[in-house]
């Protein structure tokens, strides 16, 4: 099969346009390069502050936006908050419509993995940081006790959640 027939799902933790900060720079230009290679991209991105942008429609076969949950109840879940707030039944339903490979951008978006038939498709997680280390360092440098406790707890949850990566193709 030639590259013109290839399609992928790209799950972004944020709207990747404009590409003006770390992680979204990587996601946006990855999409640009994949599109240049003739790969059709089905972009899925979470909204929570950055507006939708039709520039993404120019490089993607489809762009679907999902609201990021702001529920404080997720703070008490065993799932890391940055993952739980990006769990979306609609995203899972959209991914299960086909067997195209999936690239999850960051551990943030990897919560969908446990809801997919992994025997039938390839799933990759592109980690941007060692998230549990990042949160541990945030805790060390936080002066407010409540925030420090949050970061420490999230660091532990993120470390445990990383085991989901064993289920991925790469």
pLDDT at residue 116 in the model: 87
Contact yes or no for 115/133 (Cβ under 8 A): no
**Cα within 13 Å of Cα(62), Cβ side:** 10
The pLDDT value recorded for residue 160 is 95
3-state DSSP assignment of residue 41? strand
> Residue 138 belongs to what H/E stretch?
helix 131-141
Domains contained in the chain, CATH given: 3-128 (3.40.50.80), 130-165 (no CATH)
Q: Provide the pLDDT for residue 23.
A: 85
> How high is the pLDDT of residue 170?
65
Alpha-carbon gap, residue 129 to 139, rounded angstroms? 16
pLDDT for the residue 9: 98
Write out the two tokens for 161.
């959640």
- Residues of the chain short of pLDDT 70, as ranges, are 1-5, 170
**What are the CA-CA distances from residue 162 to residues 45, 58, 64, 95 (Å)?**
21, 34, 26, 21
This prediction has a pTM of 0.91
The residue among 158, 78, 90, 81 whose CA lies nearest residue 125 is 158
């Amino acid at each position: 099969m030639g590259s013109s027939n290839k399609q992928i799902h790209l799950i972004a933790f944020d709207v990747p346009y404009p590409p003006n900060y770390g992680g979204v720079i990587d996601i946006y230009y990855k999409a640009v390069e994949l599109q240049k290679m003739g790969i059709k991209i089905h972009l899925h991105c979470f909204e929570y502050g950055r507006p939708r942008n039709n520039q993404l429609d120019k490089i993607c076969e489809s762009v679907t936006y999902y609201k990021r949950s702001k529920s404080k109840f997720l703070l008490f879940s065993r799932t890391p908050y940055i993952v739980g707030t990006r769990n979306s039944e609609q995203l899972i339903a959209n991914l299960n419509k086909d067997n195209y490979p999936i690239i999850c951008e960051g551990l943030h978006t990897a919560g969908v993995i446990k809801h997919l038939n992994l025997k039938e498709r390839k799933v990759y997680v592109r980690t941007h940081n060692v998230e549990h280390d990042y949160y541990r360092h945030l805790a060390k440098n936080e002066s407010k006790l409540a925030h420090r406790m949050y970061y420490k707890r999230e660091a532990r949850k993120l470390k445990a959640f990383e085991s989901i990566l064993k289920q991925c193709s790469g």
